[in-house]
Amino acid sequence: MIDPGFGERLGAAFSEYGHLCVGIDPHPFLLKEWGFNDDSAGLREFSLRVVDACVDRVGIIKPQVAFYERHGSRGYEVLELLFERARNSGLIVIADAKRGDIGSTMEAYASTWLTPGSALEADALTVSPYLGTGSLTQTVNLALKGNKGLFMLAATSNPEAAALQQSRIADGPHKGETVAQSILSDAEQWSLKREPAGSIGVVLGATLELEEFGINPDDYPSVPVLAPGFGFQGARIEDARAVFGSMTRNLIVAETRSVLAVGRGGVVESITRRANEVADALS
Ligand SMILES: O=C(O)c1cc(=O)[nH]c(=O)n1[C@@H]1O[C@H](COP(=O)(O)O)[C@@H](O)[C@H]1O
């Protein structure tokens, strides 16, 4: 049997479980609220309980690698365990590592997170295109070869990013476009023209006015969108359709603190309720 591409698996997850993606960011305050120590044992308990609460309730998770790196090699051991448990349970795992470097170094990062059979194999990786999207060419090739996905930071949810991401390009093929728009255009080319289709996406913060970035979401109906910013950062799921237009059908609604800050006793109910709210708002 041929392994389906990332875009196809994402579409199947939307159909089966809807668009909610549970972010797993083991903040020290969350570990405390859950009754765990801020050490590798606490990290392990927290992570595996969140994964178990997600199975059969949502289709996608997004572990934030930074919170595992805090714990050094033991944190990485937990991450390996988390990825294995989640992927074996049918969850799509987006490793939120936001890697970005020159092409040859990016290739090493990509082989870590996206090579089938590697210790840290995920289904997709967040990457930074701010060394130029061309620096990601080898990463895109490697991702597509392994039926994996990528999410390039285009317009991020933090307000400090706007000046850089809204600035206009002076020269070259993207002349006149904003930086964010140029990243979307490249993602669209890679998603439309390369096989497996629909596997190269972008990050667009749900907190933003996309037109301030020169982006009309209806121009990019085929690009998967990872959208953080709902819940804790203030974006409302009820506004998602208005903000993301035609992109809504490919929208990954990523939420962490709003779903997990309920303590370990309430997490199943919290995930179930939020998955239903997201389904209602996007139906
Ligand atoms: O790539 C991301 O996921 C990301 C991009 C962005 O623009 N803004 C953003 O908040 N994130 C991540 O999304 C998560 C936000 O979590 P909550 O605000 O708790 O839902 C964190 O892991 C951030 O690193």
Kindly report whether the global pTM for this prediction surpasses the value 0.95: yes
- Protein residue whose Cα sits closest to atom 2 of ligand 1: 228
C-beta separation of 5 from 196 below 8 A:
yes
| Structural domain spans, the chain | 6-282
214 lines ligand 1 (CB under 6 A): no
What is the phi/psi pair of residue 216, to 5°?
Answer: -105, 105
pLDDT tens profile 78-125: 999 999 999 999 999 999 999 999 999 999 999 999 999 999 999 999
Domain 6-282 is classified in which CATH homologous superfamily? Aldolase class I (3.20.20.70)
Active-site entry in 32, 62, 98, 148: 98
Structure-block tokens of residue 115: 């090579």
In ligand 1, the atom with minimum distance to the C-alpha of 98 is: 1
* ipTM value for the complex: 0.98
Query: How confident is the model at residue 1, as a pLDDT?
Result: 56
C-beta separation of 223 from 247 below 8 A:
yes
Virtual torsion, Cα 199, 201, 206, 212, nearest 10 deg = -150
Active site residue 98: yes
Q: Which whole number is the average pLDDT over 244-251?
A: 96
25 lines ligand 1 (CB under 6 A): yes
